[in-house]
Copies of this chain bind each other. A is one copy, B any other.
Amino acid sequence: MKDITKTEFEVLEALWEQSPASAQEIITRLNTKKTWHDKTVKTLLSRLVKKQAIDFEKQQRSYLYFPLFARDEYVIKESESLVSRLFKGRVAPLVAGFADSDALSKTDIDELKALIAKWEQDND
């Protein structure tokens, strides 16, 4: 699958929020956070279709769009790609970077502990 750009990703986010959705619905959702012209959103929709990130079904004259993969699927792929480029594929150094730059909260720590516990339970 071709790379999704940052602007295209924002359109995808709107679709992951709820789909299928018409271009108008998507434009409305996006307008709460972006100032894009509706023509711009439609261009991005077309490009996402061409990249096979979304598809649509014709509903009378307009289209109902929907994503072709789940958000989770996408974000994991992106994360693994970054971790592989920047940290030789290992995630701990990334977390260490967050710790060093004081970007770790107590909540993060608690969640990390929980998922470590779960991992150990699943892998013992």
Residue of B nearest to A84 (CB): B103
Q: What does DSSP make chain A's interface, helix, strand, loop or mixed?
A: helix
Contact B101 A95, beta carbon cutoff 8 Å:
no
Please name the residue on chain B nearest to A75 by beta carbon.
Answer: B86
Min Cβ gap A6→B in Å is 8
> What number of copies of this chain does the assembly contain?
2
Given contacts A75-B87, A82-B79, A90-B107, contact A112 B97 (CB under 8 A): no
**Total chain A interface residues with beta-carbon distance under 8 A:** 42
Measuring CB to CB, which residues of chain A are less than 8 angstroms from any residue of chain B?
6, 9, 72, 75-76, 78-80, 82-83, 85-87, 89-101, 103-109, 111-113, 115-116, 118-120, 123
